[in-house]
Amino acid sequence: MSLVRKFATVGSGTMLSRLFGFAREMMMAAALGTGPVAEAFYAAFQFPNTFRRLFAEGAFNAAFVPLFAKEIEAGGLEGAKKFSEEVFGVLFTVLLFLTIAMELAMPFVIRYAIAPGFADDPDKLLLTTELASIMFPYLICMSLGAMMAGMLNSLHRYFAAAIAPVFLNIILVSILVVAWYGGYDGREVGLALGWGVLAAGLVQLGIVFFAVRRAGVSIGFRRPRLTRNVRRLLWLALPAAITGGITQINTLVGTAIASGQAGAVPALNLADRVYQLPLGVVGVAVGVVLLPELARALKAGHLVDASNLQNRSVEFTLFLTLPAAAALLTMSEPIVRVLYERGAFTPEDTMLVAEVLAIFGIGLPAFVLIKAFMPGYFAREDTRTPMIFAAISVALNIAIALWLFPSMGAPGIATASAIAGWVNAAMLLGVLIWRGHWGTDAGLIRRAPRLVVASALMAAAIWFAVDYFEPQLASASPIHTQALALGIVVLGAMALYFAAAFALGGADMGMIRRNIRRKGTPAPTAPNYPE
């Protein structure tokens, strides 16, 4: 299966999840706007979601996958099964105690760490604490699920892990539909969504659990013991958890700071939902697929293939994220208006979210490139260096956010996040080159600047098109007129970008065909697992 097809397999599941996520956010914006219930829900959900990204997805995709792949090569499925059971026993036990401790400390954590700005509103603070208590056990489901997803990715079975997150949004959309027709008030909607998040966690865990069983690995519970393999995993996972969740750390910091201004928390989350579409579809797909492929190539001594994997992944991310960033920067306002401006979501809310989204667009290529650069470290079992860079990035993000927030509000937090993202990406690439772990690629050097020019041409065209369609894109226009005008601008921009990219030499059909046909580097002793 080719690298691009693997990206497409993971990306298609992520795309489906993001589309349902848009539906969810559109309905939540209409039902709750940027009011106190929305603020409470987003702040509460950010807490377990950040823990999930830090200690599940980040840690296990960075530390567990290379070790699991090594066990497959060394001892086949039986060796991999034993290793996964050892990890499962320790992980479940740690998660159980962590959840109990956090549930007991939840009022203190919410008041002083997650949403200190809510302290002046006792009702909002109480609702945030209640929602966080309901949703925090979601961490157990998603952490165990992330471990099993890592197993599936190592076995070249990408679809189940990619499609499982869709069910979170399906369940929440269903709850919002019932609430809409049932005439629920804001607090009832918030609580129903909280229970829906927990239910979705159970469903997602069930999907990947049965997928792992179908892949031939049956996981049983072993008494938690710090075996040699588990100690190695923990040594790698702690810095990897911090590094892999850098975007989530910055988001959590931003949420805590934003809680000091009414409407800022939901504004950041609604903008985040839009730019997470290209980030999720491209960045997550590249990170998920590249790590096991790169780890196998390096362990097999295929250094040329490893270098090619890295360069083609960066080429792929730039090809898709540069135009996405240009589009978010130049037409964020009509995008936000069409997606969210109805019901309780006002034109003033549109302006705020659009400003935040445009700034996030500037940082989008950096956030995706981080996903492509980090496997170069993780596949070599170096999680310490990216952790140091992540710490520098977080410190920079906090400093800039605290400096800009009093004068700029939510856009100041987005600015801090974008700057920190570019600094982190630059450090990751610089050290890879310095160590000789990033081979010079003539194709990438030639194509990258041409993709920048093609994106700039597209951005200029969008600017003129938005001005031309201003009457149709205005708030006073019917929603179907706005959507039609926006669709025309988007399709025209896409056509122009692809035409310019191919005409300028930023992309060519031969390169695309080679990447589609190119097979992954198989491990010499690994069994051939069907897709």
Average pLDDT, the chain: 80
523 inside domain? no
Task: Write down the pLDDT at residue 484.
Answer: 94
Report the range out of 154-158, 321-325, 459-463 with the highest average pLDDT.
459-463
Higher pLDDT, 291 or 371: 371
Average pLDDT of span 390-395: 87
DSSP state for residue 158 in the 8-state scheme = -
Task: Write down the pLDDT at residue 495.
Answer: 95
Task: Write down the pLDDT at residue 472.
Answer: 92
State phi, psi for 395 to the nearest 5 degrees: -60, -40
Task: Write down the pLDDT at residue 368.
Answer: 82
Q: What is the pTM of this model?
A: 0.69
524 inside domain? no
Measure the CA angle with vertex 404, ends 399 and 407; round to 5°.
Answer: 150
Give the closest residue to 308 by CA, choosing from 500, 44, 518, 66.
Answer: 518
pLDDT tens, 277-292?
776 666 555 655 565 6
Task: Write down the pLDDT at residue 528.
Answer: 29
pLDDT category at 8 given cuts 50, 70, 90 is: low
Residue 257 clears pLDDT 50, i.e. is over it = yes
pLDDT category at 530 given cuts 50, 70, 90 is: very low
351 inside domain? yes
526 inside domain? no
pLDDT category at 2 given cuts 50, 70, 90 is: low
Give the count of beta carbons closer than 10 Å to the beta carbon of residue 136.
Answer: 21
Alpha-carbon Rg for the chain in angstroms: 23
Tell me which residue range forms the domain holding 345: 3-517
Measure the CA angle with vertex 178, ends 175 and 181; round to 5°.
Answer: 145
Higher pLDDT, 60 or 126: 126
The count of structural domains within the chain is 1
CB 358 within 8 A of CB 45: no
Q: How far is CA 419 from CA 163, 320, 322, 364, in A?
A: 32, 21, 16, 11
Task: Write down the pLDDT at residue 303.
Answer: 67
Report the range out of 162-171, 191-200, 224-233 with the highest average pLDDT.
191-200
525 inside domain? no
527 inside domain? no
531 inside domain? no
Task: Write down the pLDDT at residue 318.
Answer: 85
Task: Write down the pLDDT at residue 493.
Answer: 94
pLDDT tens, 395-423?
899 899 999 998 898 899 999 989 999 99
128 inside domain? yes
Beta bridge partners of 519: 2
Task: Write down the pLDDT at residue 175.
Answer: 93
Proportion of the chain above pLDDT 90, given as a percent: 29
Task: Write down the pLDDT at residue 10.
Answer: 54
| Token output for 443 | 């194709």
Average pLDDT of span 264-280: 79
